[in-house]
Structure 1
Amino acid sequence: MEHISKYLTPEIKLSSYEDQLFKSDLMFDDHMLVWFISGETKIIQADKTYYFYANDIFLIPRNQPTTIINYPKNGLPHQTVVIHLTIERLKRFYEHIDFPQKILPEQHIYSFNGHPLLTSYLNSLLPYFEMNESFPEAIASLKITEAITIIRAINPDVDKVLSNFDAPGKIDLVSFMERNFLFNMPLEKLGYLTGRSLSTFNRDFKKHFNVTPQKWLIAKRLEFAYYQLKENSRKPKDLYLEVGFEDLSHFSFAFKKKYGIPPTQLSQLS
């Protein structure tokens, strides 16, 4: 896989994937403002699946388990401009903003497609990626502040997300895992998202499920895959990435071990 990134700063980058497919399971530490230049992306979160195409602009909130599958299209690479809206930048920004303090964050992806303010702003960044010298920090700070100001003007509801600096609190482990078992992330991150240390996460998990997290996750993903293959006529090659497996052969081996038949055979029977 050929991946090319150009950075203005660690917070502003131009990213290109040249291959047929790139998949990652992520939990972003920063809010991510993303502009698609070319390609397609499928973004899977616990409650919804999103599809984005060339010229789409959207904000992905931090601390949300997310599967991202990127595809080149029409002979063009999957190319994006990505701006990290870090907690440090946002704290400095909101020091000077008067807004309700006790508001509940709405953790969903925000779309800003086609808005001329944001489209013009993002286009203005492209020439900077051709610079040979370092991009001045003072200008980078202004450009990130400009991005925050524009998306707040377009949709004031983003304050509910951007102004929330809290770490995840301790939440119900069972309901969280039932909603997020498809995301292939380290246990440390799953523990963090439930407000637990790794040791507490493992202890609580064994108490509620009477099995290790690894065994439970594989079983749940295979059960989900079985349902998708049998009831929704999904194909294994179109499904394995979504159910937390990194390659088709590993998925097929695990599926046959559990159910006694390869997933291709089950999909043919549906």
Structure 2
Amino acid sequence: MNVKILVDSACDLTEEQYNKYGIEMIPLTVQLDNKEYRDGIDITPKTIYDAMRKGKKPMTSQVSLQTFKSIFTKYAEKKQPLLYLAFSSELSGTYQTAKMMEQQVRDEYPDAELHVLDTKCASIGYGLVAIRVAKLANEGAKMDELIEMASYHATHMEHIFTVDDLNYLYRGGRVSRTAAFVGTLLNIKPILHVDSGRLIPIEKIRGSKRLLDRMLEIMDERGIDFENQMIGISHGDDLERAEKLAARIKEKYPVKDVIIEMVGAVIGAHSGPGTLALFFLNSSYK
């Protein structure tokens, strides 16, 4: 029996992609106007972005212990191997919750082939890892091989992104009040990346004109083997700029493919509208 790949909604893949690659998705939740919604199921990212533009402040929650227990137990009872690729533990407590329930289910089902892996990734960077591992799982790869492949792609997945308004990162505790105020006042656009799961600033750009140029320069400096890998772009309700970035990448590099998706409701609730992110490997594709 093939290993089943489980992800959470912070990978920002679509229902079509889940079905295509045989991936099961478990949603995080977002609260808006005193109602709770399942990310990727009950609410669209655009609903969150439109609300944020009106000054609303959506909140998010991780996956519950009981939800993990139900899913892990289901696969243990079927004796089907399950690999859960988790959203970065530096950005959510979901991974730690899953690890707690992994041990409990293992105690109840000692023979269960159940593994939880912290990808240290987010959004489509996380999604690209899931797609690669799911393809391999569908070919019949064993658990050890899948864990090795997931770890490799997660370790070498670059996340280069910018946000339109630093105040959203401030609300989420990612930048200081002073940095958010000064950045907004001076029209400073930060370029950040994800290092070991954490958001780390790379540099600051005055205005928006040089952003795409600099993101491409960073891709050129850090990336490798573009012709064999899938490149990911995610955006906070800014498809026009995402498509412009994709077109420039295709002009410059012989890439295998570029996928563009909107940043999901849960991550978008912290990064805000206007976010633009670029994902690629900094090592040879496997």
* Shared fold, TM over 0.5: no
Question: Which structure's relative contact order is higher, taking Cα pairs within 8 Å and 6+ residues apart?
Answer: 2
Give me the TM-score of the superposition, normalised by structure 1: 0.31
| Structure showing greater Rg | 1
Structure with bigger strand share is: 2
